[in-house]
Amino acid sequence: MLTYSFYDIFFYLLLYGFLGWVVEVGYYSVRDGHFVNRGFISLPLHVPCGISFALLIQVLPSLGRNFALQFIAAAIIIAVVQSLSGEFSHRVSRLARWETENAFTGSRKNWLEMAARAAFVLLVYHVVHPIFLAGVSLMPRLVLHIIVWVGMTLLILDFVTLLYAVRHRTLLVTDEISRLNTQRIANRITRHIWERLEKAYPGIEETGWERQPGEKIIFAKGICWDKIIWVFLICALLGDIIETFYCGLVDGQWMNRSSVLYGPFSFVWGIGAVVLTVALQHMMDKSDRYIFIGGFFIGGTYEYMCSVFTELVFGTVFWDYSDMPLNIGGRTNVLFCFFWGLLAMVWVKILYPPLSRWIEKTPPLAGKIITWIIVFFMVCNGLLTAGAMVRYNTRAVRPEPSGMVEEFLDAQYDDAFMERRWPNMIVTENGSGD
């Protein structure tokens, strides 16, 4: 079980308090159409969120991989902290600095909100928190101590200032100063975001956030970064579903075909779709035979290189065609190259055009936000998966974990879990740790 030090706990309290403030401010500002400070104090910290995470990172490891118990624990802790913080802020300030209700009133809205918060917190804990663990483990302890002492000192001073303002009946003035300070921060962030959006979509500021009929602004027009991300995610999802049903119905083996720990996403399919889209974009008006030939060689080469990459980097082999005729090093074969050619024709001529048009109907601002959310979580998911695989390969020769990151990986993704998640995975000599 993970053991957090005093400094670790307070560091994560500050970190998740800031991230919670960013998420809440962003959500309510977009919803209400103006900046809304969701913090009780002047600092950009959502203290209840920080406290909730500081408690959860100590409680959740003791529950193993029982997601039902983890969900219940997260919901209870979030509800208790939110209710106590709301009551505390009301008694201290006598003013509603943010909308809050007792989480135990029993209203359907409150229970749904708690369930959504608990689900989101578990997603962050399992996918994002391990990345933070790795980053903090690389940070010099002196730097960590300085951040904690400075942050907690500012937090205490801010809170004392608030209490002083209440006692001397100057809370309204203090509240206005706090609002102006946080407004300046929000204005800087907003200005930076709009400058980036203006570069990508000239004129977006004049046309508003929602795409109106006849507007010239089109999200992810042509082959661009946003289009590639969306194509990757959609095809990774569909590819995993198709491959799962194919193996289950044809081979009678129902097993996980995902490339990552969380979610039904096959990176091989997602990246393959991106490769075919980028490589064959100039051949969309060509004859089918040219697209077939391009898909035959590009797809076969891509599948071969994916096999080489996973073996060299992770020391694992996820597929082996050595027992099939006309195979190429067991990594691909002529039959599957033929399928790649057919898939290229279907993709370029039938599937991609309507998918592209559907993606381009997304409102520009919403599309940008969704794109970066996808990038953030998929990068964390990929890094976590890579770490779990590396630890799985080294655990046989070095069973004792070294540091908090490996403790987390051993607790959450032991050998039984990894072998159940990827039953066809074979560890090679490159991954044995020798």
DSSP 357-372: HHHHTS-HHHHHHHHH
Q: Residue 175 is inside which H or E element, if any?
A: helix 171-200
The pLDDT tens digits for 309-362 are 777 765 666 666 677 676 677 777 777 788 888 888 888 888 888 998 898 888
Give the integer Cα–Cα distance in Å for 234 and 236: 5
Strand 426-427 and strand 332-333: the pairing is unpaired
Beta-carbon count within 10 A of 434 CB: 7
Q: How confident is the model at residue 4 (pLDDT cuts 50, 70, 90)?
A: confident
Mean pLDDT of the region 143-147: 91
State the pLDDT at residue 306: 78
State the pLDDT at residue 173: 47
Give the integer Cα–Cα distance in Å for 331 and 318: 10
State the pLDDT at residue 174: 47
Q: How confident is the model at residue 90 (pLDDT cuts 50, 70, 90)?
A: low
Mean pLDDT of the region 281-303: 81
- Cβ atoms of residues 186 and 116 within 8 Å: no
Mean pLDDT of the region 33-48: 68
Give the integer Cα–Cα distance in Å for 125 and 70: 10
Give the integer Cα–Cα distance in Å for 58 and 38: 26
Mean pLDDT of the region 175-190: 54
pLDDT at residue 124 is higher than 60:
yes
Report the SS3 class of residue 317: strand
Which residue reads 């560890």 in tokens? 427
State the pLDDT at residue 391: 87
Closest CA to 49 of 69, 29, 66, 27: 27
More confident residue, 274 or 163: 274
Q: How confident is the model at residue 147 (pLDDT cuts 50, 70, 90)?
A: very high
Count of CA atoms in the C-beta half-sphere (13 A) of 62: 9
Report the SS3 class of residue 257: coil
State the pLDDT at residue 198: 56
Helices 267-280, 288-314: inter-axial angle, 10-degree rounding = 140
Give the integer Cα–Cα distance in Å for 224 and 283: 17
The rounded percent of the chain whose pLDDT value lies above 70 is 69
User: Cβ contacts of residue 7 below 8 Å, gap of 6+?
Assistant: 141, 144, 145, 148
Q: Which two tokens stand for residue 31?
A: 């919803």
pLDDT at residue 211 is higher than 50:
no
State the pLDDT at residue 366: 75
Q: Indicate the burial class of 323 (C-beta count within 10 angstroms; 0-12, 13-18, 19 or more).
A: exposed
State the pLDDT at residue 93: 54
State the pLDDT at residue 209: 41
Which residue reads 């969306």 in tokens? 230
State the pLDDT at residue 150: 92
More confident residue, 148 or 180: 148
Mean pLDDT of the region 31-42: 60
Give the integer Cα–Cα distance in Å for 422 and 310: 13
pLDDT at residue 95 is higher than 50:
no
Q: How confident is the model at residue 168 (pLDDT cuts 50, 70, 90)?
A: low
Q: 426 - beta bridge partners? A: 317
Task: Using alpha carbons only, give the angle 313, 314, 318 rounded to the nearest 5 degrees.
Answer: 115
State the pLDDT at residue 261: 87
Cα maximum dimension of the chain: 86
Mean pLDDT of the region 141-148: 91
Which residue reads 């508003």 in tokens? 208
Closest CA to 137 of 383, 406, 411, 412: 406
Q: Which two tokens stand for residue 184?
A: 């300046």
Helices 364-394, 225-246: inter-axial angle, 10-degree rounding = 50
Q: How confident is the model at residue 37 (pLDDT cuts 50, 70, 90)?
A: low
The pLDDT tens digits for 378-389 are 899 988 988 888
Which residue reads 């206005």 in tokens? 176
Tell me which DSSP letter residue 328 carries.
E
Helices 171-200, 141-167: inter-axial angle, 10-degree rounding = 130
State the pLDDT at residue 29: 64
State the pLDDT at residue 12: 92
The pLDDT tens digits for 17-36 are 888 888 877 766 666 655 55
Q: How confident is the model at residue 396 (pLDDT cuts 50, 70, 90)?
A: confident
Regarding pTM above 0.85, the answer is no
- Cβ atoms of residues 182 and 47 within 8 Å: no
Q: What average pLDDT does the structure give for the chain? A: 76
Mean pLDDT of the region 182-189: 56
